Amino acid sequence: MEVTVNLNSILYSLIGWFLYSLGLWKLLPKLKWERRWMAWVPGLRTVALGSAIDMGWEGVVCGAMEVLSQISRFWKPAENADERTELVLVLFTLIFLAVLIIYEIRIFLRLTQVMGVKKRWIILWLFAEWLPMMVFGFSSRFQPREDVALADDRAAGTCPADLSAATDPAGSSSSGLVVRLRERTAKDFLKKRYLLKDISLSIPNGSMVLLLGGSGSGKTTLVNALIGYEKADATVLLNGTDVYKDYDRMKYRIGFVPQQNLVRGNDTVGHTVNDAARLRLPARIKWKDRHSQVEEVMDLLGLTAGQDGLVSKKSGGQQRRISIAMELVVDPELFILDEPDSGLDGVIAREIFTRLREVADTGKIVIVITHTPDRVIDLFDKVIVLARDSGRVGRLAFYGSPQEARTFFGKDTMEGIVMSVNSKEEGGEGRADELIARYAAMTAEETEKAKKTEKAEEAEALQTEGGEGA
Q: Pinpoint the residues of the chain covered by CATH 3.40.50.300.
A: 177-441
pLDDT value for 3: 45
d(C-alpha 315, C-alpha 337), whole Å:
19
Among 101-110, 263-272, 382-391, whose mean pLDDT is lowest? 263-272
| pLDDT digits 0-9 by tens, 78-92 | 555 567 776 777 787
pTM of full prediction above 0.75? no
| pLDDT digits 0-9 by tens, 243-269 | 999 998 888 899 888 877 667 777 888
| pLDDT digits 0-9 by tens, 280-321 | 777 777 888 788 878 888 887 788 888 778 877 887 778 888
pLDDT value for 303: 83
Mapped onto helix, strand or coil, the DSSP state of residue 136 is helix
pLDDT value for 395: 94
pLDDT value for 82: 66
Please give the full DSSP string across 145-199, using - where no structure is assigned. Answer: ---HHHHHHHHTTTS----PPP--TT---SSSEEEEEEEEEEEETTEEEEEEEEE
Side-chain-side CA neighbours of 442 within 13 Å: the count stands at 15
What CATH number belongs to 177-441?
3.40.50.300
Among 138-152, 207-221, 381-395, 433-447, whose mean pLDDT is lowest? 138-152
Q: Which residue has the higher pLDDT, 224 or 457?
A: 224
| pLDDT digits 0-9 by tens, 20-37 | 999 999 999 998 888 899
E strand or H helix at 24: helix 7-30
Angle, helices 7-30/130-138, rounded to nearest 10 degrees: 30
Mean pLDDT of the chain: 83
Please give the full DSSP string across 386-445, using - where no structure is assigned. Answer: EEE-TTS-EEEEEEE-HHHHHHHHT-SSHHHHHHHHS-GGGTS---HHHHHHHHHHHHHH
Q: Which residue has the higher pLDDT, 13 or 211?
A: 211
Place 168 in a pLDDT band, splitting at 50, 70 and 90.
low
pLDDT value for 201: 92
